[in-house]
Structure 1
Amino acid sequence: MIILITGGGGPTGQALSAHFAKHGHTVIAVDKDDVDLLDRAAVQELARSVEAEHGRVDGVFHLVGGWRGGKTFAETDLADWDLLHDLLVRTLQHVSLAFEPLLRKSDNGRFAIVSAKAAERPTAGGAAYAAAKAASEAWVMSLADGLRDTGSAATVLVVKALLNDAMIAAKPEAKFAGFTHVDTLAEAAAALYERPAEQINGTRLDLTQ
């Protein structure tokens, strides 16, 4: 398969890249040093280059993220919203709009983002983050509706927080209760191909269970 991973330079992107590559798939991992995902023209050019070389894309895993927040609702800094809107929403819009036509050319395409339980149960200090995550989820659900009956699917993978080996090494005594390891996330992403598109299209898969 042809797999695109945006936000590919971080621990999560590296885990997904390694998992798909290990199973023989072609992985195109991009990070901010490769393409500015806030530049719609640059993202469209990326899509054109992928189409020219491969003709389609079988997976788009959008892993661009970030967190900002405060202690109380009243202390919310709207500059945090501006940042999170760009990171979590605008980049998603650019990537999904550019690559949706390529997903349609796949017999079994998958598009997924990682969202957070915070979108369901926002905290007072996490208003900007929760709102951005909720907007991202709504955007993916709209994409899912557009992909209905195409053979491809768009899905939201939900975590409390992500965990990687560097975090464990830095705090070996910590429990990280409810956290999802990036390797587990990678396995869940690959498992999306094991189920029919109509079963997972427009769904939220909770990985904290």
Structure 2
Amino acid sequence: MIILVTGSAGPTGEAVTGYFTDHGHTVIGVDKDDVDLLDRAAVQDLAERIEKEHGHVDGVVHLVGGWRGAKSFAETDLGDWDALHDLLVRTLQHVSLAFEPLLRRSENGRFVIVSAKAAERPTAGGAAYAAAKAASEAWTLSLADALRDTGSAAVILVVKALVNDAMRAAKPDARFAGFTDVRDLAEAIGGLYDRPAADINGTRLDLTT
């Protein structure tokens, strides 16, 4: 399969890239040093180059993210919203709009975002983050509706937070209760291909339970 991983340079991207590479698939990993995902023309150019070389994509795993918050609701800095809107929403919009036509050509494509429990249960100081995550989910559900009559599916994976080996090494006494290991996330993404697209399209799969 041809798998595009955006935000591939971080630990989560490395885990997802490694999973698909180890299973014999072609992975196209991009990060901010490769393509500016806030530049719609640049993202469209990437899609056209992949289309020319491969004709379609079988997976788009969108891992671009970030977190900002405040001590209280009243102390919320709307500059955090501006930053999170770009990171969590605008990049998603550009990638999904550019690659939806390529996913439609796949017989078993998947578009995946990672959301957070915060989107459904926001905290007072996490208003900007929760709102951006909720917007990302709504956008992805619209993509799912667009893919409804195809062999592809758009899916939201929900976590409390992610943890990797470097985080554990930095805080060896921390429990990271409820966190999802990036390798488990990668396996969950891979497992989406074992289920019919119609069964998972437009669903929120909670990895914390």
Question: Structure 1-normalised TM-score?
Answer: 1.00
Classify the secondary structure of the residue corresponding to 1:205. strand
1:172, distance to aligned residue in structure 2 (A): 1.1
Equivalent pairs, count = 209
1:99, distance to aligned residue in structure 2 (A): 0.1
CA distance in 1, matches of 2:174, 2:8: 26
1:46, distance to aligned residue in structure 2 (A): 0.2
Q: Deviations over 1:50-72 (max 9, x none)?
A: 00000000000000000000010
1:149, distance to aligned residue in structure 2 (A): 1.6
Q: Which residue in 2 is equivalent to 1:134? A: 134
CA distance in 1, matches of 2:174, 2:69: 22
Classify the secondary structure of the residue corresponding to 2:172. coil
What are the within-5 Å matches in structure 2 for residues 20-99 of structure 1?
20-99=20-99
CA distance in 1, matches of 2:69, 2:159: 18
Q: CA RMSD in A?
A: 0.3
Classify the secondary structure of the residue corresponding to 1:148. coil
Q: Which residue in 2 is equivalent to 1:109? A: 109
Classify the secondary structure of the residue corresponding to 2:64. coil
Q: Which residue in 2 is equivalent to 1:125? A: 125
Q: Which residue in 2 is equivalent to 1:146? A: 146
Classify the secondary structure of the residue corresponding to 1:57. coil
What are the within-5 Å matches in structure 2 for residues 147-166 of structure 1?
147-166=147-166
Q: Which residue in 2 is equivalent to 1:13? A: 13
Classify the secondary structure of the residue corresponding to 1:27. strand
Classify the secondary structure of the residue corresponding to 1:132. helix
Classify the secondary structure of the residue corresponding to 2:169. helix
Matched residue type, 2:191: A
Classify the secondary structure of the residue corresponding to 1:158. strand
Matched residue type, 1:191: G
CA distance in 2, matches of 1:137, 1:130: 11
Q: Deviations over 1:170-191 (max 9, x none)?
A: 1111110000000000000000
1:147, distance to aligned residue in structure 2 (A): 0.2
Classify the secondary structure of the residue corresponding to 1:32. coil
Q: Deviations over 1:31-82 (max 9, x none)?
A: 0000000000000000000000000000000000000000100000000000
Deviating beyond 2 angstroms after TM superposition, the runs of 4 or more aligned structure 1 residues are none
Q: Deviations over 1:116-142 (max 9, x none)?
A: 000000000000000000000000000
Q: Which residue in 2 is equivalent to 1:202? A: 202
Give the gaps of 5 or more residues in structure 1. Answer: none
CA distance in 2, matches of 1:171, 1:156: 29
